[in-house]
Amino acid sequence: EVQLLESGGDLIQPGGSLRLSCAASGFTSSSYAMSWVRQAPGKGLEWVSVISGSGGTTYYADSVKGRFTISRDNSKNTLYLQMHSLRAEDTAVYYCAKCSGSGGGWFDPWGQGTLVTVSS
């Protein structure tokens, strides 16, 4: 069974940094792209970033480009999201999701999410 478990969410002050992790199990990590998707309180889903199975290709939403960095360690079956210069509007539940293919695709499954709150 494929399982994803996020961690690292916290209350952080504006301008601060945070690193999220997503531990994956039940599949060969390098064969699938992985994504981060966030959901602000009471709002809809916003795609944040995707990384290819090999880790060689990454894409970002304009709202986080230059501030967030996605990476993965396939030897540890772990996905990361390094977040810098955090803003109040980055407050959200952050989900990691397995993509359907090595380059992207639909998202299945999703982790349970980790809450990031940016506030002073």
Partner 1 sequence: DIVMTQSPDSLAVSLGERATINCKSSQSILHSSNNKNYLAWYQQKPGQPPKLLIYWASTRESGVPDRFSGSGSGTDFTLTINSLQAEDVAVYYCQQYYTTLPYTFGQGTKLEI
The stretch near partner 1 (CB under 8 A) out of 12-20, 56-64, 67-75, 83-91 is 56-64
The least CB distance from residue 100 to partner 1, in Å, is 7
Nearer to partner 1, 18 or 50 (CB): 50
Position 97, amino acid: A
Q: How far apart are CA 57 and CA 17, in angstroms?
A: 23
> By CB under 8 A, is residue 53 in contact with partner 1?
no
> By CB under 8 A, is residue 66 in contact with partner 1?
no
> By CB under 8 A, is residue 17 in contact with partner 1?
no
> By CB under 8 A, is residue 35 in contact with partner 1?
yes
Q: How far apart are CA 76 and CA 25, in angstroms?
A: 10
Which two three-digit tokens encode residue 53? 């199975």
> By CB under 8 A, is residue 94 in contact with partner 1?
no
> By CB under 8 A, is residue 70 in contact with partner 1?
no
Which one among 23, 59, 71, 84 touches partner 1, defined by CB under 8 A?
A: 59
Range 1-4, long-range pairs (CB < 8 A, 24+ positions): 1/26, 2/26, 2/27, 2/98, 2/109, 3/109, 4/96, 4/97, 4/98, 4/109, 4/110, 4/111, 4/112
**Residue numbers at the binding site for partner 1 (CB under 8 A):** 35, 44-47, 50, 59-62, 95, 100, 104-113
